[in-house]
Structure 1
Amino acid sequence: MKKLVYGLTMMLALFLLPLAASAASGTQLQVNDKAIGLSAEPQISGDTAYVDLAPVLGSLGYTVQQSVYGTGWTVSKDGSKIELVSGSSSFVVNGESVKAGATVIQGGNKLNLQAFADLTGRKLKVDGEKGLISLNDTLQTSVLETLYTGTLTSSAQAPKALAQGNQGYTGYIKIFYPNGKVFYDGYMVNSKFEGKGKYYDSNGVLRYDGNWKDNKFHGQGKSYYADKHLEYDGMWKAGLKQGYGTYYWAWEPCGEPPGSITGYNKYVGFFDKDEFDGVGKIDWADGSKFEGFFSKGQIKCAGVFYWTDGWKYVGMYKDGKRDGFGTEYNEKGTVIYEGGFRQNLAEGYGRLYDAKGNLLYEGEFVNGHPKGEATARTLTGFQAQSNQKSSEAQLQMHTQNQMEVTFQ
C-alpha cells in the first residue's frame, strides 16, 4: 500500500512539474496593453522586473543601439539621448548623470523596468502571482503638484521627480520630462521649488530663470517666451509681477495676418499683481512712446504721449484716454491746442493755434471741434479759416492715432 501511495505521489509530482515550469515561463509583458514578445524570461525582483531592453524600448518608439564595446546601450527619441551602462545605478540623460537608486542594466541587456519607468514618468505594475508585467504611458505626477502656471493636469506637464524627489526633500535637484529634457534645475525646500532655479518647457526652451518660493516665481527673475525672446525681467511675488521690472509683448500691426509679429513693445516701470501700476514708460515697436502714471494696467492722472511724427501730448488722463486739461505740440514743439479733453477729444474751453503759433480760435470745443467761428486775433479772413481747418485736421488725426495704453 505504501509503495502504491509513493508511486502515485511521484506520478503526480512528475505531472505537475511541467505545469509549474510552464507557469513560471509564462510571465507576460505588456507595454501600453499590448503583449511584447521576449527572447528570454523576465526576471522579477520585488516591485521591478529585468527584461530584454531592445524589444521593450523599441515598442515605445526609442532607437536602440549597443555601445561599441558591448558594455552599455544608447537609446534616443525626440532629440533626447539616454545612455545605460551595465552594472551602473545611474542613467546619463543628454550628458547629465541621473541616479536611479538601483542597477539599471543587468547581464548586459536586462533593463530595470522600474528604474526606467521612474526616469520617464511611466507606470509599472508587476504581478508575480498572475505572471503579468505591465508598463504604461500613463504618466505619474511628481510630488510637485502645482506650479506657477497652475495645476499639472496634462501628461506633457507632469514630469516624474527623480533621485531625491520624495516628500520633504531639501537641496539641489533636477527634474526631467518624459522625453528626457530638463524640466527644472535648481533648489527645493521641503519638496517645493525655493531659491534659485530654472524652468524649461518640454522643447528644452528656458522659460524662467530666477528665484522661487512655494513653487512660484518669487523675487528677482527673468521669464521668456517660447521663441526665446525675453518676456519679463524684474521682481515677482507669489507668481505675479510685483514691483519694478521690464516687460515685453508682441507687436502685431493692424491689417497684418494674425500672429504676424514685427517687433516687441516694452514697458519699464512698476507693477502690482501683474498689471502696470505706478510710474512707468512704454515704447511701442512703431516708435510711439508714453511716460507717466498707471493704475491697474491703464494710464491714470497725467503723462506725456509721443507720436511717431514728433507730435506730443502733455496732460491729464483717465481710464487710458486723454481727459482733463492738456496741451498738444507739433513736431517743432509749437503748441497747436491747449485746453480741455474728454475721451481723447478736445472738449470744453480751449485754444487752437496754427503751425507757427498764431491763435486761430479761443472758446468752446465739442467732440473735438470748435463750437463757433474762427477768432482771428493775429490772422484775418480766409487765411485764418484755412489755418484753422489745417490745425483741426492735425488735431483729429492725432486723436485717432492715440495708442491704446492697457496691459496686454
Structure 2
Amino acid sequence: MNLVKEHDQVYKEYLNFINETIKDVKSIRRTKKFILKKEDVATEKEISQIEGDSSVAEEIEESEIKQKRASSKIYNFSNGDVYIGKMVDGNMDGTGIYTFSTEEGTMEYVGDFKDDMKHGKGIFTFSNGNSYAGGFENDLMNGIGKMIYSSKDEYIGNWKDGQKNGVGIYIWEEGSVYVGEFRNSKMEGYGTCYNKEGKIIYEGEWKNNLVHGKGTYTWQEGKIYTGDFLHGKKHGTGTFYLNNELVYDGTWKFDKPSICNRSLDELFSSKF
C-alpha cells in the first residue's frame, strides 16, 4: 500500500497496536489448549450458581465457589454457550474465550473481560464473516481497532461505542484507500483518497461517504478540478485544469460548468 509519508506513519502506528492484540490472543488460545488438555470442566452446581439457580447455590459454600472461579476452566452453559477462562463472583473477568450462537450463526470473542463484558483488547469474529481485532470498552469496540469484512475490505483506525469515529484508514478489496476522518462509521470531515496505484485522486472535505465541501479531484488523464463539491458532484465555484493549463474557472452545477444557470453544452447549442 503506497501512501504519503504522513499517512504511512499513522497506518504503521495503528498496525503495531493490532499486532500486539493478535499476539495476546495467540497466548490466550495456547492457554485454551492447556485447559482442554486438563479437562478442567465446571461442575453442574457451579454452572447453576452462575446462572442463578438459588436452590443449588445454597448447597455450595461461598468460599469454595470463589476459589474455584478464580482459576481458568471450561464453562458449558445450559443455552449452549461455552466460556473458557476465569470467573470472578459469577462474572467473566480476566482473559478468556467466549463462543455463542445466534440465528445468524456462531460468534466468538477471544480477549480481555471485565464484569461479563468485553473490555480491554481482543478479537471478535462475527457470524457474517467479519472479524475485528483491537480495543473494547464496556462490551463495545472502542479505541484502535481493525475490521476485516467478509467482502475483503478493511478498516483500521479509531472506534467509539461500536462505530468508526476519528481518524481511520479504509482499504477496498481492489486496492483503493481512504485516509481521513470518520463520524458514525461514515467518511465525514477531511480525507484523502488514493487509487490502487497509490496516487492521490481526491483530497478535501467529505460528508456521508461522499465528497462534499472544498476539495481537489485529479484524473489520470491530466485533468484536475479544485473547488466546491455537493453530495459527490462538482457544484459551486471551481477551477478545471488540463495538463496544468487553465480551462475553466467559474460556476459549476451538478458536475457541469454553468453560466447564467445554463451548462456550456446548452450555451454552445443555442441559436442566436
Quick check: TM above 0.5?
yes
Output the CA distance in 2 between the equivalents of 1:244 and 1:276. Answer: 10
Cα drift, residue 280 of structure 1: 0.5
CA contact (8 A) 1:241 1:275 kept: yes
CA contact (8 A) 2:192 2:202 kept: yes
CA contact (8 A) 2:94 2:112 kept: yes
State whether structure 2 residue 201 is matched by structure 1 residue 312: yes
Alignment of 1:333-372 (within 5 A): 334-354=222-242, 356-372=243-259
Cα drift, residue 174 of structure 1: 1.3
State whether structure 2 residue 83 is matched by structure 1 residue 184: yes
Output the CA distance in 2 between the equivalents of 1:170 and 1:95. Answer: 16
CA contact (8 A) 2:225 2:240 kept: yes
Output the CA distance in 2 between the equivalents of 1:207 and 1:164. Answer: 32
Output the CA distance in 2 between the equivalents of 1:208 and 1:218. Answer: 11
Computed over aligned residues only, the root mean square deviation of the Cα atoms, in angstroms, reads: 3.6
Cα drift, residue 368 of structure 1: 1.2
Alignment of 1:65-104 (within 5 A): 96-98=39-41
What SS is found at the alignment partner of 1:143?
helix
Which has more radius of gyration?
Answer: 1
What SS is found at the alignment partner of 1:285?
coil
Cα drift, residue 173 of structure 1: 2.7
Q: Name 2:212's counterpart in structure 1.
A: 323
Q: Name 1:170's counterpart in structure 2.
A: 70
CA contact (8 A) 1:293 1:302 kept: yes
Higher relative contact order (CA 8 A, sep 6+): 2
Q: Name 1:143's counterpart in structure 2.
A: 50
What SS is found at the alignment partner of 1:371?
strand
Which stretches of structure 1, 4 residues or more, deviate above 3 A after TM superposition?
Answer: 97-100, 163-171, 307-311
Aligned CA distance change for structure 1 residues 164 and 99 (closer, same or farther; 3 Å) = farther
Name the TM-score, length of structure 1 as normaliser. Answer: 0.46
Q: What is the letter of the counterpart of residue 92 of structure 2?
A: F
What SS is found at the alignment partner of 2:83?
strand
CA contact (8 A) 1:290 1:306 kept: yes
Cα drift, residue 142 of structure 1: 6.2
CA contact (8 A) 1:329 1:336 kept: yes
Q: Whose helix proportion is higher, 1 or 2?
A: 2
Q: What is the letter of the counterpart of residue 272 of structure 1?
A: K
Cα drift, residue 176 of structure 1: 1.9
State whether structure 2 residue 113 is matched by structure 1 residue 212: yes
Q: Name 2:172's counterpart in structure 1.
A: 284
Aligned CA distance change for structure 1 residues 233 and 144 (closer, same or farther; 3 Å) = farther
CA contact (8 A) 2:109 2:122 kept: yes
Output the CA distance in 1 between the equivalents of 2:180 and 2:160. Answer: 16
**Count of aligned pairs:** 214
Q: Name 2:188's counterpart in structure 1.
A: 300
Name the TM-score, length of structure 2 as normaliser. Answer: 0.66
Output the CA distance in 2 between the equivalents of 1:143 and 1:191. Answer: 5
- Return 5+ residue gaps in structure 2 as ranges: 1-35, 53-59, 266-272
Cα drift, residue 308 of structure 1: 4.5
Cα drift, residue 99 of structure 1: 6.6
Aligned counterpart in structure 2 of residue 244 of structure 1, from 105, 130, 144? 144
Q: What is the letter of the counterpart of residue 189 of structure 1?
A: V
Q: Name 1:233's counterpart in structure 2.
A: 133
Q: What is the letter of the counterpart of residue 297 of structure 1?
A: S
| Identity of matched residues, % | 25
Q: What is the letter of the counterpart of residue 186 of structure 1?
A: G
CA contact (8 A) 1:352 1:362 kept: yes
